Amino acid sequence: MADMSEIEKRFDIHEIAKTKQQEIDKFDCNIYCCHSTGCKSSGSDEILDILQKTIEEHNLQEKVRIVATGCMGLCAQGPLIRVEIKGQKDVLYKRVEPLISRIIVTEHIIPALKLKASEQFTLPEVLQKYVLSLDLPFFTKQEKVVLKMAGHLNPEDIQEYMAAGGYLALEKVLKTMTPAQVIEEIKKSGLRGRGGAGFPTGNKWDFASRVKAEDSKFIICNGDEGDPGAYMDRSILESNPHGVIEGMMIAAYAIGATEGWFYIRAEYPLAVERIEKAIKACKKNRLLGNNIMGTNFNFNIDIRLGAGAFVCGEETALIHSIEGKRGTPRPRPPYPTDKGLWDKPSCINNVETLANVAPIILKGAEWFSSFGTATSKGTKVFALTGQVEHSGLIEVPMGTTINEIVNEIGGGVPNGKKLKAVQTGGPSGGVIPTEYINLPLCYDELKKVGSIMGSGGMIVIDESSDMVDLAKFYLDFTVDESCGKCAPCRIGGKQMLMLLEKISKGQATKEDINTLQQIANAMQKASLCGLGQTAPNPVLSTLRFFRKEYEAKVSKNKE
């Protein structure tokens, strides 16, 4: 039996990537079918099956490759299929039905493959109404770093990831950089945590690296995304699980961790499945375990499923949950970088944060920091939802304005209605009225108007919406999700909700509005964790910008 060190020396991701790319290049046509949660719920499983059978019926297996991909972005238009034929323009199909998937093969792909290189195929009328223009601002005005591979590769094929440049950043780090150099590069990039707080990632890694551990340190990926209307992390995990794993491994090397944990909510079964498969593929290819890539770096990853508690997105509650305890926050300090999982030094990063790491290492801090603003570098993934023409997953440079996102990328408010506001940051965020339509979306500017970046939820609100009801909806969510550990959140949230219900029924006075604001301010200052501290934000922002709607509901009552 060969010595393990000899086996490690033979492992060459460059050779694997080259071989896989040559295999891909042999095909004249690639059919990319979105196979994320959204498109699966719309029937992409059946469509994939029909595509495969139709290709086999026409003996096209050597010419046509079918790829089940992650999210293509325009989620409301799924199931989505993109057809790429050598010498022809790419075509994206929307809302594909089972019969149409067969017609795409017989009336588009087969005749197009017979054309000469100089000829362009004209789509038959039966297919034209299913076509989405790839020249839409939704596609052309994005800048993709985290989502670059989403929709372009099979997330369950590690070799496809390698062919696209995967694990080259890890190789660069392990073979040419010290942990301190890795941390310095992340610091220079200006990457901030994409989970909500926006803490500088390089600084967090630096703190964790300086703590001496007797036996082990941990790196934890926070995939406990729970904001209503948010699905950024889920889509990233589904579309490019290896990108997140590679970022986690680089982080582990930088801080001196030997174990990693994925904490993913159980409501994301497809994300969990793909991470599990990716971990198995890494172990099979000796990218996890001992002496990774023939170096002294040892690292392993495990998974824990969250039961759906929103508060477990808070890092100390998340740690308790992994340990098998009730997921409740604890006071800080000590911070997890000093005393975290099982009282060991632990560094917790959000899914999107880790997905940025490999591109930064490969392309450099200066490249990454060329996007964004002075204090908010890089790009940001948003789940654009609500009353907007083109809802879906987008990625834009930090500092992109609300107007650009809603009216250009999103195609504006449908049905001839006017934009009233945009809500960012989920239940912890605020409502931004149209007077701030040109507000750049970055950490500092959002804070000025009483909102936050959050993990990236963005809900478009038209003129028909009642802002008191909107605030009540979010507060009802946070009251339900409160762990109840501290009185300001447990009692204050409930009292605020009761006042909102009273106002919405027309039974309140103006004094009730003042009381609502006082409780909200107190709750912000006195709550133990981020959930309680930010839960009043939707109420406070609607009071700030839409107070007349509150007052209109109490105008008939005695003051």
The domain that holds 408 is classified in CATH as: 3.10.20.600
Task: Judge if 326 and 197 occupy the same domain.
Answer: yes
In a domain, 87, yes or no: yes
Q: Are residues 240 and 331 in the same domain?
A: yes
| Final residue before a domain boundary, out of 115, 135, 155 | 135
Q: Please check whether residues 485 and 431 belong to one and the same domain.
A: no
CATH assignment at residue 538 = 1.20.1440.230
Give the end-to-end CA distance of the chain in Å, rounded to a whole number: 87
Do 477 and 391 belong together in one domain?
Answer: no
Residue 158 resides in a domain = no
User: Which of these three, 447, 462, 477, is where a domain ends?
Assistant: 462
Query: Locate tokens 């200052």: which residue?
Result: 525
- Residue 12: per-residue pLDDT: 86
Tell me, yes or no, whether 17 lies in a domain: no
pLDDT at 195: 85
Amino acid 191: pLDDT: 97
Q: What is the mean pLDDT of each run of 10 residues along the chain (559 residues)?
A: 43 90 97 96 96 97 97 94 96 97 97 92 95 96 97 97 97 97 98 90 96 89 88 96 98 97 95 98 95 95 92 92 93 92 95 98 97 96 96 96 97 95 91 95 92 89 95 93 92 95 91 94 93 92 94 72
The sign one gets for the Cα dihedral 163, 165, 169, 175 is: positive
Q: Give yes or no for a contact between 36 and 235, defined as CB atoms under 8 angstroms apart.
A: yes
Q: Are residues 473 and 550 in the same domain?
A: yes
392 plus 445 within the same structural domain: yes
Backbone angles phi, psi at 326, to 5 degrees: -65, 135
Do 171 and 191 share a domain, yes or no? yes
In a domain, 145, yes or no: no
In degrees and rounded to multiples of 5, residue 214 shows phi and psi of: -65, -40
Whether residue 13 is contained in a domain is answered as no
Range of the domain at 398: 379-462
Domain total for the chain? Answer: 4
Q: Which DSSP category does 74 fall into?
A: -
What's the burial of 330, exposed, middle or buried (CB within 10 Å: 0-12/13-18/19+)? middle
Q: Is residue 8 part of a domain?
A: no
CATH number at residue 51: 3.40.30.10
CATH number for the domain that contains residue 229 = 3.40.50.11540
Instruction: Kindly state the tokens that stand for 376.
Output: 């908010």
Residues 231 and 256 in one domain: yes
Give pLDDT, residue 428. Answer: 87
Pair 227, 323 in one domain: yes
The reply to whether omega before 228 is within 30° of 0 (cis) is no
Cα–Cα distance for residue pair 430/447, rounded to 1 Å: 9
Q: Which helix (H) or strand (E) holds 385?
A: strand 379-386
- Return the pLDDT at 557: 58
Question: Looking at residue 4, what is its pLDDT?
Answer: 41
Is residue 60 in some structural domain?
yes
In this structure, the answer to whether residues 298 and 178 fall within a common structural domain is yes
Same domain, 353 and 386: no
- Residue where one domain finishes, among candidates 343, 367, 391: 367
Burial class of residue 363 in the structure, from the number of CB atoms within 10 Å of its CB (0-12 exposed, 13-18 middle, 19+ buried):
middle
Both 106 and 131 in one domain: the answer is yes
Structural domain includes residue 149: no
Neighbours of 326 (CB within 10 A): 12
